[in-house]
Structure formats: structure tokens, C-alpha cells
């Protein structure tokens, strides 16, 4: 198993290298660069632009730029953001907390509600409850996030911001709060974006869980467990559910890759200072090092997420476990 | 001398679906004695599996039992040694778990999918034994290993901790049989247990089942569409078609004096070593779908011997000679298979 993990990690290196080359290429292929806004600005002289080009390394060819970037990374230097003039990691690091808080709570919301609802729907197939659960799921899936977010804010504002906060990350008096209240305040603010993102993901989780369990309930071993005289809850929860949960666990590993992705539209509407907004800004301004750092971060998480998914699957499925040795 | 374990009387199982009522089992009656084995033969869709699932209490909505009795005898439910029968059609579902696995066991067709891939063989055997017999886990494990030895799994004490996918198909069917017999049931229902296995393994499994039946004194119902398997294992044969019994007799009578045209034709379409035949004769047509069927012989559309009477009323399931029942207005006379000449 350890050998397998090590092999996977080594195999990840060429993958990440490939990702970096392709994405650097694509960014370079886009017309113009960060300094275009300066070039068009009559207040900035051509000499100044030249100086800046030199400073940022934009005067060299994209290939050379890439290798300089790669060399610096190997030394642990991810470059500075053009816009903010601070190291890229400092910039990202500031957003990580808010992003993680949002994605983890959303994750708990989606899975914590989606899985039990999916199980319920499967066990009561075609019943009224199943239909209602399905409809709720699809409503969540069908309403665009930005619109749902607006509705949510509208509701929050109409109720005077007492039930839910009207956007933002922290309350006005945040700095004067004691520690426990600070914590609660942030949690209170995360509710809005969390419910928005969570309801849209709910349908997927629910339908997968429902479908999986229904499939397993039709299997011979379930009927055989009944024929052995096992009571219905043993048949369902020990035999069928144990098999139905496998693909869910794989999906769980995959969702790790999305933890730091951020959600552009929802963050925007709620004024949530997450990663999504940072990335969009960087893309629009062609702030190449920020974009690259984010792409690499996402890629590493994707590779890691896949690996974790496989390890989790091996942990729950003896067939996979014994094949990996 | 005869000790009936199971008496089925006019059993019906219907399924109400949007298009109408499917009469999957339509008035089946038979008696099964201790240590006797009954072979149930029929094409796909003849209702043989549904009959057995009904006996097992495994029929779920939209299926229901509009009529009939399933009388089952077990000492556990008979007080003071008096012989009593319980009617399984009236048993509430939660009490059925005391019957299933404990007194009536069932083995399914495909051993590759009968065992849960996620649990070890030990786990799946021990859960059954512990649930029904109220013994410690250690004791249950001991019994499980003993059973595995009996069904011929080598190194049973080690292999018991393996997962199902680490066994071959034949071995898995042996394990399934071991689980079926783990609580020493009075009745074992085998639903085509050798269909998914290759021929050599098939013979081994049949041999094993016969041996175990004698050892455990179990009554057995053996569902199959393979008449050679029936000849091998059954004492009594029941031929089903369209949810009804067509013919029932002891195994020799069925093979030597098949009286119902359907039985006759079935025997004509399998190769036999005791009767030389140039061509096998397939039965033309398709088995019927029992959706709102008319109250007539279901074999009528395919029957070459159909008469006007067949088109008007359904024949009774009559005893034409002792222990030989036939449902037909125009049975094949004494001669052995007309096609033979």
C-alpha cells in the first residue's frame, strides 16, 4: 500500500509539470499582458512601461518566462502579484481561511443532508416523500446560484438582517466581540453562501445515493440475505448500504479538489472574500503569477483528491484493497 | 410413513401493475414429504420462481396472495409434540425472519452474486447462525468451519476469513449451500443452483446436494429448466406453465409416461441417450405473459392437441392414476412420445 502511494506521488510530478506548461502557454497565448492598461494610459510614458516590462520579465519570450518561473518555483519563490506587489502566497493565504470555511461547511451541508435524504428516497421509492425530496433537489439544482443568492439576500434584508445577515463576512462590531462570539458571527455569515451553494449540490448527492442504493437493493445478495432470515434493517443497512456507499466515498475524495476553488458568482453576490473573486480579478488583469499559483494549487489538490479517493476506496472495499496488496 | 413438511393448497400470487393483473402463480397445490425432493420444471416465466418466493415470504408490493394456503410444519411451532401446521400466507412479515433461513432456506441461481462482496465468508455465515441459533460468536464460527468442511472447501479454517471474490464459482455455490444448511432447515429451496456453473461442477454440486439432503433429512424443492438435472435429483416432478401446474408425478412416470402434451414436447426437445433421435423438436411459439389471462389452459396457443373444449373451459388438475396429476382435456395416450416411432 505504501509503495502504491509513493508510486502515485511520483507519477504526479510529470502530470503537474504538464499542467503548468499547458496553462502557462494558454495564458501567454491570450493577447496583451498585464501592462496593457499602462500602455494605453497617456500619463505613463513609454520608458516607464519599458522599465516595468523589464522588472516583471515580460520583455522576454513566453518560453524563457516559463523557465524562469519554473526555476524560481523550485527555489520556493512563486513570484509577486503584479497588481498588489506582494508575494503571491501572501495574497492567496489571506483568502484561504474564508474559502475553506465556505467550502467545508457547504460540503457538510450537502452531504449531511443529501445522503440521508437519498437513502430515504431509495427506501420509499415512488412514494410521496420520494417525489417531494426529488422536487426539492431539482429546484435547488435548477435555480442559478446568483439568483438564489439574490433571493436569499432579499429575504435577509426584508427580515431586517435578524435571521440571516445581509451579506459580508463579519458583523460591524466584530473586533469588539469576545472570541466565542467572533466564531459564531463568522458561522452566522457563512450560512447564506453555504445554503446557496449547498442546495445546488444537494440534488446530485441525493440522486447518486438514491440510485446507488436502489441498484444494490436489486442485487442477489440482498435477496439472499433476506432468504437467510436477516431482519430488514440488517439487510438494508449492513448489506445493501455498505455496497451503495462506495461510489459516494470516491466522490468524496474528488470533492477535495474543489475545496479551494471558490465560487465566483456566489462569493460576489454575498461579498464573501473567497478565492473565486481573487482568481477572476487575476484573470481579467492577466496577473500571471497569481493565476499560475492558483492553477497549480488546484492541480495539486486534484491529484491529492484522486489519491485520497483511491485510498478511501481501498479502505472500504476489500476487492480493491487486496488488489493493491 | 409419509410426513408432509409442506402442503401448498391452491396458491395464487398476483401482481397488480398499471396494465392489469399479472397472475404469476395461478392455483398451485402440492405436498412435500420429509426427505423428499421435488423438481419444478418450466420455461422462463412459468411462475416456478415466484411460487417459491411466495413460500419464502419474499413477495413484495405490488405482489400479493389473493388466495391459497401454505401449510408448513416445524417442531418449533408445534406444542406438546402435537403435529401442527402454520399457514405462511398469514404470517406477518416480521415473524417471517424466524422461518426464513432457520426452517426454510433458499439457494439462488448465480453464486457469483449471492454473496455480499464486502464481507468475509465468516461474517456472512456467522451472522446467520448467530441470528437463528442463539450461540456465541466463537461457537458459530466453529459450526461455520465445520459446515464449510462438509461442503468440501479445503482449508476451511483459514479460507473462512476470505472474501467471496477469492473463491471460484463452484466454491461459492458450495458456500451458499453451507449457509443454506447452516441452521438445519426442514426445507431447502434451490432455484436453479447449477445453471450458472459449468457441467463438471454442476455434477459435483448435484452430488453434494443429494448427499447433504440425506445427511440432514431435508425436504428439497429444486427449480430448474434442465430436465436432465431433474432426472438426477428429484423424486417427484411438477411441470409448470403459465403459472399453473400442467402435470405432476414421480420422476419415472414423468419420463416414461409423459401425459400432458407440454411435458411430452418438453421431453422431445432435449437430447436423450436412451432414445435415438435425428432432430430435436423445439416447441413453437413463446411462453405467455400472464397479464389478465383468460381462464383457459395457458398452453392452448402452442398446443398441437388443442380441442374445442380447450377453448371453452379450463381442465381440472386431475389425478389420472395414483399420485399422477394432469391438467388436460386431451392428454397424450399411453404411448411414449409420439415423435419417437
Exposed, middle or buried: residue A87 (CB in 10 Å: 0-12, 13-18, 19+)? middle
CB-based contact B56 A227, cutoff 8 Å: yes
What number is the average pLDDT over the span A139-158? 89
d(CA A110, CA A250): 16
Q: How many residue contacts between A and B have a Cβ separation below 8 Å?
A: 76
CA nearest B131 in A: which residue? Answer: A230
Q: What is the DSSP secondary structure assignment for residue A85, as one 8-state letter? A: -
CB-based contact A317 B119, cutoff 8 Å: no
* Residue pLDDT, tens place only, B89-102: 988 888 888 889 99
What number is the average pLDDT over the span A49-55? 84
Asked if A262 and A99 count as a contact pair (C-beta separation under 8 A), the reply is yes
In the numeric block, which cell numbers belong to residue B315? Answer: 381442465
B250 DSSP β-pair partners? B236
Strands across the sheet containing B63-73: B20-33, B4-17, B63-73, B85-87
Helix (H, G, I), strand (E, B) or coil at A10: helix
**Domains plus CATH for chain A?**
2-74 (no CATH), 95-324 (1.10.3720.10)
**Domains plus CATH for chain B?**
4-234 (3.40.50.300)
In the numeric block, which cell numbers belong to residue A227? Answer: 432468504
Res A298 pLDDT > 50: yes
Per-residue CA distances from A120 to A217, A219, A237, B180, B268 (Å):
13, 18, 12, 31, 52
CB-based contact B101 A227, cutoff 8 Å: yes
Strand B324-326 relative to strand B318-321: parallel, antiparallel, unpaired? Answer: antiparallel
Which of B247, B252, B223, B218 lies closest to B235, judged by CA? B252
Give chain B positions within 8 Å (CB) of A315.
none
Residue B77: its pLDDT value, please?
Answer: 66
Task: For residue A220, give the nearest of B102, B114, B119 by CB distance.
Answer: B114
Residue B337: its pLDDT value, please?
Answer: 46
User: Can you state the percent helix, strand and coil of chain A, rounding each to 5?
Assistant: 80, 0, 20
Asked if A293 and A84 count as a contact pair (C-beta separation under 8 A), the reply is no
Residue B197 near chain A (CB below 8 Å): no
Asked if B175 and B153 count as a contact pair (C-beta separation under 8 A), the reply is yes
Closest Cα in chain A, distance from residue B288 (Å): 25
Res B2 pLDDT > 80: no
* Residue pLDDT, tens place only, B307-341: 898 898 898 898 988 889 999 998 887 544 444 43
In the numeric block, which cell numbers belong to residue A4? Answer: 502504491
d(CA A162, CA A159): 6
- Give the long-range contacts of residues A311-314, CB within 8 A, separation 24 or more: A311/A5, A311/A253, A312/A249, A312/A250, A312/A252, A312/A253, A313/A246, A313/A249, A313/A250, A313/A253, A314/A1
B291 DSSP β-pair partners? B22
* Residue pLDDT, tens place only, B72-85: 987 776 666 667 78
Residue B144 near chain A (CB below 8 Å): no
Query: Residues in chain A whose beta carbon is closer than 8 A to a beta carbon of chain B?
Result: 219-221, 223-232, 234, 238-239, 242-243, 316-319, 322
Which band of pLDDT confidence, cut at 50, 70 and 90, is reported for residue A82? confident
For residues B201, B205, B207, B208, the Cα torsion angle rounded to the nearest 10 degrees is 140
Helix (H, G, I), strand (E, B) or coil at A318: helix
Mean pLDDT, rounded, of chain A = 88
Helix (H, G, I), strand (E, B) or coil at B251: helix
Residue A53: its pLDDT value, please?
Answer: 84
Residue B113 near chain A (CB below 8 Å): yes
Could you give the ipTM of this predicted complex? 0.86
**If you count them, how many residues does chain A have?**
325
Residue B341: its pLDDT value, please?
Answer: 37
Which band of pLDDT confidence, cut at 50, 70 and 90, is reported for residue A268? confident
Amino acid at each position: 500500500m505504501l509503495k502504491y502511494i509513493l508510486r502515485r506521488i511520483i507519477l504526479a510530478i510529470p502530470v503537474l509539470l504538464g499542467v503548468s506548461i499547458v496553462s502557462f502557454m494558454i495564458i501567454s497565448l491570450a493577447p496583451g499582458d498585464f501592462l496593457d492598461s499602462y500602455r494605453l494610459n497617456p500619463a505613463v510614458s513609454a520608458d516607464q512601461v519599458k522599465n516595468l516590462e523589464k522588472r516583471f520579465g515580460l520583455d522576454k519570450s513566453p518560453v524563457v518566462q516559463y523557465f524562469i518561473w519554473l526555476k524560481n518555483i523550485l527555489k520556493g519563490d512563486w513570484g509577486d502579484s503584479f497588481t498588489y506587489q506582494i508575494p503571491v502566497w501572501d495574497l492567496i493565504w489571506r483568502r484561504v481561511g474564508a474559502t475553506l470555511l465556505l467550502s467545508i461547511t457547504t460540503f457538510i451541508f450537502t452531504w449531511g443532508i443529501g445522503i440521508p435524504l437519498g437513502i430515504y428516497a431509495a427506501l420509499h421509492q415512488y412514494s410521496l416523500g420520494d417525489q417531494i425530496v426529488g422536487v426539492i433537489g431539482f429546484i435547488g439544482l435548477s435555480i442559478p446560484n446568483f439568483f438564489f443568492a439574490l433571493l436569499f439576500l432579499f429575504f435577509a434584508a426584508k427580515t431586517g438582517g435578524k435571521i440571516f445577515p445581509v451579506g459580508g463576512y463579519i458583523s460591524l462590531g466584530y473586533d469588539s466581540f469576545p472570541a466565542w462570539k467572533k466564531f459564531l458571527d463568522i458561522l452566522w455569515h457563512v450560512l447564506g453562501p453555504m445554503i446557496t451553494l449547498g442546495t445546488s449540490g444537494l440534488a446530485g448527492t441525493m440522486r447518486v445515493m438514491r440510485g446507488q442504493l436502489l441498484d444494490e437493493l436489486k442485487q442477489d445478495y440482498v435477496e439472499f440475505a433476506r432468504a437467510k432470515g436477516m431482519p430488514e434493517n440488517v439487510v438494508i443497512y449492513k448489506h445493501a448500504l455498505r455496497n451503495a456507499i462506495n461510489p459516494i466515498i470516491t466522490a468524496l475524495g474528488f470533492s477535495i479538489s474543489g475545496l479551494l476553488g471558490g465560487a465566483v458568482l456566489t462569493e460576489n453576490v454575498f461579498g464573501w472574500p473567497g478565492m473565486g473573486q481573487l482568481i477572476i480579478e487575476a484573470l481579467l488583469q492577466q496577473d500571471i503569477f497569481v493565476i499560475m499559483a492558483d492553477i497549480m494549487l488546484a492541480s495539486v489538490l486534484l491529484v491529492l483528491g484522486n489519491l485520497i479517493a483511491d485510498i478511501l476506496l481501498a479502505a472500504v472495499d476489500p476487492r480493491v484493497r487486496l488488489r493493491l496488496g | 410413513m409419509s410426513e408432509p413438511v409442506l402442503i401448498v393448497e391452491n396458491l395464487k400470487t398476483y401482481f397488480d401493475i398499471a396494465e392489469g393483473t399479472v397472475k404469476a402463480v395461478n392455483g398451485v397445490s402440492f405436498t412435500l414429504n420429509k426427505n423428499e425432493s421435488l423438481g419444478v420444471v418450466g420455461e422462463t416465466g412459468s411462475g416456478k420462481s415466484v411460487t417459491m418466493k411466495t413460500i419464502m415470504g419474499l413477495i413484495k408490493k405490488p405482489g400479493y396472495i389473493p388466495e391459497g394456503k401454505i401449510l408448513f410444519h416445524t417442531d418449533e411451532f408445534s406444542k406438546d409434540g402435537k403435529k401442527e401446521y402454520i399457514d405462511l400466507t398469514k404470517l406477518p412479515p416480521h415473524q417471517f425472519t424466524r422461518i426464513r433461513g432457520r426452517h426454510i432456506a433458499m439457494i439462488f441461481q448465480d453464486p457469483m452474486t449471492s454473496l455480499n462482496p464486502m464481507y468475509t465468508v465468516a461474517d456472512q455465515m456467522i451472522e446467520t447462525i448467530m441470528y437463528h441459533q442463539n450461540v456465541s460468536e466463537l461457537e458459530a464460527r466453529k459450526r461455520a468451519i465445520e459446515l464449510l468442511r462438509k461442503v468440501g472447501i479445503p482449508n476451511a479454517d483459514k479460507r473462512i476469513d476470505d472474501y467471496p471474490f477469492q473463491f471460484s464459482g463452484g466454491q461459492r455455490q458450495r458456500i451458499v449451500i453451507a449457509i443454506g444448511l447452516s441452521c438445519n432447515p426442514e426445507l431447502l429451496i434451490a432455484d436453479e443452483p447449477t445453471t450458472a456453473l459449468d457441467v463438471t461442477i454442476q455434477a459435483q454440486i448435484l452430488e453434494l446436494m443429494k448427499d447433504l439432503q440425506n445427511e440432514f433429512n431435508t425436504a428439497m424443492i429444486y427449480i430448474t429448466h434442465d430436465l436432465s438435472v431433474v432426472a438426477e435429483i428429484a423424486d417427484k416432478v411438477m411441470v409448470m406453465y403459465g403459472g399453473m401446474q400442467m402435470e405432476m408425478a414421480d420422476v419415472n412416470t414423468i419420463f416414461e409416461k409423459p401425459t400432458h402434451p407440454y411435458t411430452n414436447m418438453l421431453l422431445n426437445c432435449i437430447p436423450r441417450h436412451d432414445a435415438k433421435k435425428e432432430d430435436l423438436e423445439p416447441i413453437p411459439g413463446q411462453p405467455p405473459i400472464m397479464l389478465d389471462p383468460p381462464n383457459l389452459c395457458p398452453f392452448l396457443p402452442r398446443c398441437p392437441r388443442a380441442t374445442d373444449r380447450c377453448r371453452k373451459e379450463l381442465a381440472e388438475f386431475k389425478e389420472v392414476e395414483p399420485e399422477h396429476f394432469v391438467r388436460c382435456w386431451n392428454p397424450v395416450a399411453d404411448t411414449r412420445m409420439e415423435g419417437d416411432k
